[in-house]
Amino acid sequence: NLPERVTMIEVGPRDGLQNEHHFIDTEIKKAFIQKLADAGMKEMEITSFVSPKWVPQMQDAAEIVQSRPSGVRNIVLVPNRKGIEQALETSCKSVAVFVGVSNSFNKKNINRSTLESMAELQPMIAELKGKNFFVRACISTSFYCPYEGKVSEADVLGLCQEFADVGVDELSVADTIGMATPFESFSLFSKLKERLPDMMIAAHFHDTRRLAMANIYAALQAGIDRFDASAGGLGGCPFAPGATGNVATEDVVYMLERMGIETCIDLEKIVEAIDVIAPALSRKIETGYYQLAKNG
Ligand code: HMG
Ligand code: MG
């Protein structure tokens, strides 16, 4: 018994672009975000308040937030207190914090141990909840770490529980380097559903080894009905060596709709969104649905 409908969370403007080395014009990013909203995306990670020295691509975050589309849960990623303070200076009402289960990864990504990150974020999350923010917690390296290898399920469940205890609204559980198998996907998501039955849980798969679609199917069977994806399959964390793009929005939507699972996303408009961003990218878009739409 698979879900009848699924919510797609578009992460293209954030995860999709953060790894692009040359700066993409802010107007192009805005047009990309607007097209994704036009395609029916109701939840999107649009940018991140991170150090411009670490991720120069996101240096226009304040401007992106300023002109975000209406009628969409526009989420801004924040790694630390400074990022949260920046978010508080805007009128945005949704943030995503991010922490790696693996300590080595967290150090490379945020320059803090996992414990230090949690100690910094926990009181901030409580404050954000007090201000009626929607808070998402992205759990990186939930399956494998590029530095430490296999990550234990118990550690993932423990970190998710800590976030639940401080009142986050949603967990986005990530396979950062695209190494999980469908068995692992089913196992972890089943346990998460059992342990946190009332929590909104999204699955965030990178497609490094082309297992993301199989992992999504396994997660659906575990009762997951929220999926992060990136138009054109863009994406990758600059501090996770070997990681490639997120699973492609258009391919996930195509699969789900063919299976009779409703997404409320207009595929042709996703293609139009990709057309907006594609000329600004250093890589070619080679996802299945987009190729077919362009070349027949
Ligand atoms: P740090 O060097 O330890 O920072 O970096 P610091 O606290 O020592 O401060 C140093 C300087 O950075 C100071 O400026 C701060 O003001 C500034 P200075 O005095 O030198 O001029 N600073 C900031 N500036 C802007 N925004 C901020 C901020 N914080 C400090 N928030 C830091 C620590 C967290 C800043 C850095 O490591 C960083 O920015 N990391 C972000 C890395 C990143 O964006 N990774 C990708 C997103 S996560 C991801 O993709 C995974 C995900 O998709 C799930 C998955 O797939 O796994 C979510
Ligand atoms: Mg990611």
User: What confidence score (pLDDT) does residue 61 get?
Assistant: 98
Which tokens in the block code for residue 208? 């490094």
User: What confidence score (pLDDT) does residue 113 get?
Assistant: 98
The alpha carbon of 80 and the centre of ligand 1 are apart by a number of angstroms equal to: 7
Q: Are 139 and 202 in contact (CB under 8 A)?
A: no
CA atoms within 13 A on the CB side of 242: 12
- CA dist 83 and 58 (Å) reads 12
Point out the catalytic residue in the list 138, 145, 160, 237. Answer: 237
Q: What is the pLDDT of residues 99-135, one digit of tens each?
A: 999 999 999 999 999 999 999 999 999 999 999 999 9
Tell me the mean pLDDT in the region 45-67: 98
Please identify, by atom number, the ligand 1 atom nearest to the C-alpha of residue 112: 3
User: What confidence score (pLDDT) does residue 168 get?
Assistant: 98
- CA dist 174 and 141 (Å) reads 6
The alpha carbon of 244 and the centre of ligand 1 are apart by a number of angstroms equal to: 21
The alpha carbon of 235 and the centre of ligand 2 are apart by a number of angstroms equal to: 7
User: What confidence score (pLDDT) does residue 296 get?
Assistant: 81
**3 state DSSP class of 89:** coil
How distant, in Å, are the alpha carbons of 101, 114, 129, 168 from that of 123?
A: 19, 15, 10, 12
- CA dist 98 and 84 (Å) reads 12
Among 14, 82, 88, 228, the mutation site with the greatest number of ligand 1 atoms within 8 A of its Cβ is 82
Considering only CA atoms, which of 9, 35, 39 is closest in space to residue 225? 9
- CA dist 164 and 158 (Å) reads 10
Please give the backbone phi and psi of residue 212, each rounded to the nearest 5 degrees, phi first.
-60, -45
CA atoms within 13 A on the CB side of 5: 5
Q: Are 86 and 61 in contact (CB under 8 A)?
A: yes
Q: What is the pLDDT of residues 60-80, one digit of tens each?
A: 999 999 999 999 999 999 999
The alpha carbon of 176 and the centre of ligand 2 are apart by a number of angstroms equal to: 6
Which tokens in the block code for residue 282? 């250093």
- Is the pLDDT at 242 greater than 90, yes or no? no
Does ipTM come in above 0.95? yes
Which tokens in the block code for residue 38? 């036009």
Tell me the mean pLDDT in the region 3-12: 98
Whose Cα sits closest to atom 35 in ligand 1? 51
The alpha carbon of 78 and the centre of ligand 1 are apart by a number of angstroms equal to: 8
Q: Per-residue confidence at 243, pLDDT binned at 50, 70, 90?
A: confident
Tell me the mean pLDDT in the region 136-146: 98
Q: What is the pLDDT of residues 264-276, one digit of tens each?
A: 999 999 999 999 9
Lowest-pLDDT range, 19-33, 90-104, 235-249? 235-249
Ligand nearest to the CA of 145: 1
Q: Name the residue with higher pLDDT: 1 or 24.
A: 24
Please give the backbone phi and psi of residue 109, each rounded to the nearest 5 degrees, phi first.
-90, -40
Identity of the amino acid at 29 = K
Pairing status of strand 144-145 against strand 149-150:
antiparallel
Among 9, 50, 81, the mutation site with the greatest number of ligand 1 atoms within 8 A of its Cβ is 50
Whether residue 145 lies in the annotated active site = no
CA atoms within 13 A on the CB side of 262: 3
**3 state DSSP class of 102:** coil
Q: Who lines ligand 1 at CB under 6 A?
A: 15, 18, 48-51, 54-55, 77, 79-80, 82-83, 98, 109-111, 138, 140, 174, 176, 204, 206, 237, 239
Pairing status of strand 134-140 against strand 149-150:
unpaired
- Within 10 A of 119 (CB to CB), how many other CB atoms are there? 11
Q: Which residue has the tokens 């999107």?
A: 44
Q: Are 222 and 186 in contact (CB under 8 A)?
A: yes
